[in-house]
Amino acid sequence: MISNAFYRDFLILSIGKVLQVFIGLLTLRLITEMLSEEQVGIYYILLTVVSLLAFGFFNPLGQFYGRYLIHWQRKKELKTATNTMLALRGLTIPFALCLAIVVFYVFRYEQYFSIAEYSVFIVVSLVALIHGVLLSATNVLVSRVKFTVYAVLTLFIGLIFSVIFIQFKQTAMAWIYGLAFSQIFFSAILYNIITSEQEFSIVKMKSAFNKHYMKGVFFFILPVTITLFLQWGQTASFRLIVEDLYSAKILAFIAVGMALSSAIFSALETLSTQFYMPIYLKKITNVDQAMRTKAWNELADILLPVYIAVLIYVIALAPYLAKLLVAEKFQDAYIYAMIGAFIEFFRVITNLVYLVSQSEVKTKSTIMPYLMGFIMMVIGLYSIDVSRSPWIVPVILALSYLTTLSIMFYNMKKLLSIRFEFLNPAMAMLLMLPLLAIHLMAIPPTLFNSLLLSFLGGLYLLLTQYPLLKTKIKKMSAL
């Protein structure tokens, strides 16, 4: 019975993820086709500013909320906790807007849009961010099926809105508005889903603002805030630096290339999080340290080989993926996708290791890894002129990510006896190495060749990795 439920859920999640990936990749293709090179660069600038505000002001509170979801649900306090979280986010928006305005003037964005339209855009985008928190809660508390359905619907409706809006004004801002409005609409639906069987208590909501409780929340989110800011610094701030030092067009070329590898790894990471995070959270709730260690090690034993396999897949097929996924004017950006694959590999492994800090509710030790990686990246970008060799930008980023991963693993190992098993990762690497022979064949990236090779490469990945990990997947999924 468990086996049948497992395969059913896995099939539904897989189909849903295929649709999400398809919509995401179609979005990348349409953006590069319908927007000018400068507007593509501005698109990534706006995403970077919004992500700064999300990481600095909203995600830490979201992580605290996510950590205690099951606890609040069991105590019938979820609606009260959710309303409290929403109230705090609303109170935070004015402070986030002030920082956004500072960024506007420091980086001279008046050359792209007025302060008024920029401010309205920021507020709408910040309101839309609640969608991610509520969607994640739906995955943990309700069902992975509903999570999948609403994730796909949000992206699909958002894409339709974006295409409609861009017919009136061909700007990056108009495109992002489409997704933001879709997120706001579905946030209301998700809120009703997760709180439908919960009671709201204004008394308990007020008690959440008492000095003792807020102190506990503060000491949880402060190191998380610092860590997330440094994560943003390493993952996204390079866009602001590149645009400031060079131009939006150069940024567009680099960002689009790196987006190819990011789209694939992000889809894989989302699928693994969607399927395994509820299982992982249940396995670390109200158990001793040994059981929490076992839960993390089981998760790592599954994900590391898969991430290695996808790394090789992207490196081997980057020119053909570029042919399929971006406009003609950006297809030479595949070199950034190849280097970006290493960046994404180090990023997802770091995120995996980072879970230890949340299971142990000890987030201070995550600050130094991101700080060192951030500093390394900033020094590299400002000390090396990349105007003639833009490919150096992702190389600098990859080295900074590797630094972060190394320090993070060292620090997290002090909290739990985590380890990486090397047999399955080594097997995964050996099985995927034949794909690299594609580069030696010098097959031209025509549309037909790109479709054929990308499909066959993906099929080969699935056929080699699933038998290797089948037993471990079943073991991790058994509750």
In this prediction, residue 102 carries a pLDDT of 95
In this prediction, residue 474 carries a pLDDT of 59
In this prediction, residue 383 carries a pLDDT of 92
d(Cα 333, Cα 120) in Å, to the nearest integer?
A: 33
Phi-psi region of 108 (alpha: psi -120 to 50; beta: other; left: phi over 0): left
State the sign of the Cα–Cα–Cα–Cα dihedral 392, 396, 402, 406: positive
Identify the residue whose tokens are 């649900």.
Answer: 73
Whole-number average pLDDT of the chain: 85
Query: With helix as H, strand as E and coil as C, how does the chain read?
Result: CHHHHHHHHHHHHHHHHHHHHHHHHHHHHHHHHHCCHHHHHHHHHHHHHHHHHHHHHHHHHHHHHHHCHHHHHHCCCHHHHHHHHHHHHHHHHHHHHHHHHHHHHHCCHHHCCCHHHHHHHHHHHHHHCHHHHHHHHHHHHCCHHHHHHHHHHHHHHHHHHHHHHHHHCCCHHHHHHHHHHHHHHHHHHHHHHHHCCCCCCHHHHHHCCCHHHHHHHHHHHHHHHHHHHHHHHHHCHHHHHHHHHCCHHHHHHHHHHHHHHHHHHHHHHHHHHHHHHHHHHHHHCCCCHHHHHHHHHHHHHHHHHHHHHHHHHHHHHHHHHHHHHCCHHHHHHHHHHHHHHHHHHHHHHHHHHHHHHHHCCCCHHHHHHHHHHHHHHHHHHHHCCCCCCCCHHHHHHHHHHHHHHHHHHHHHCCCCCCCCCCHHHHHHHHHHHHHHHHHHHCCCCCHHHHHHHHHHHHHHHHHHHHHHHHHHHHHHHCC
pLDDT tens digit string along 387-402? 888 889 999 999 999 9
Q: Highest-confidence range of 190-204, 273-287, 443-457, by mean pLDDT?
A: 443-457
In this prediction, residue 250 carries a pLDDT of 87
Residue 19 pLDDT exceeds 60 = yes
d(Cα 315, Cα 337) in Å, to the nearest integer?
A: 8
pLDDT tens digit string along 62-94? 777 777 777 777 777 778 888 888 888 888 899
Between helix 248-284 and helix 237-245 the angle, nearest 10°, is 170
Lowest-pLDDT range of 171-175, 294-298, 441-445? 294-298
Residue 231 near residue 346 (C-beta atoms within 8 A): no
Q: Highest-confidence range of 20-34, 154-168, 249-263, by mean pLDDT?
A: 154-168
Residue 220 pLDDT exceeds 70 = yes
- pLDDT > 90: what percent of the chain? 33
In this prediction, residue 1 carries a pLDDT of 45
Burial 403-429 (b: 16+ CB within 10 A, else e): bbbebbbebbeebbebeeeeebbebbe
In this prediction, residue 372 carries a pLDDT of 92
- Mean pLDDT of the 411-416 span: 84
Residue 198 near residue 79 (C-beta atoms within 8 A): yes
d(Cα 269, Cα 351) in Å, to the nearest integer?
A: 9
How many other C-beta atoms are found inside a 10 Å radius of the C-beta of residue 34? 16
Between helix 447-477 and helix 423-432 the angle, nearest 10°, is 160
d(Cα 243, Cα 28) in Å, to the nearest integer?
A: 20
Residue 202 pLDDT exceeds 60 = yes
Residue 416 near residue 354 (C-beta atoms within 8 A): no
pLDDT tens digit string along 348-367? 899 888 888 777 667 677 78
Supply the pTM of this predicted model: 0.79
Residue 265 near residue 17 (C-beta atoms within 8 A): no
Residue 156 pLDDT exceeds 90 = yes
Cβ-based burial of 369 (10 A; exposed 0-12, middle 13-18, buried ≥19): buried
Say how far residue 416 (Cα) sits from the centre of its chain. 25
In this prediction, residue 411 carries a pLDDT of 87
Residue 42 pLDDT exceeds 70 = yes
Residues 6+ apart with CB under 8 A from 278: 139, 140, 144
pLDDT tens digit string along 103-142? 999 999 999 999 999 999 999 999 999 998 899 888 877 7
d(Cα 245, Cα 125) in Å, to the nearest integer?
A: 26
In this prediction, residue 55 carries a pLDDT of 85
Split at pLDDT 50, 70, 90, the class of 4 is: low
d(Cα 28, Cα 442) in Å, to the nearest integer?
A: 26
State the sign of the Cα–Cα–Cα–Cα dihedral 254, 393, 99, 191: positive
d(Cα 28, Cα 194) in Å, to the nearest integer?
A: 31
In this prediction, residue 204 carries a pLDDT of 64
> pLDDT higher for 362 or 300?
300
Split at pLDDT 50, 70, 90, the class of 167 is: very high
Residue 415 pLDDT exceeds 50 = yes
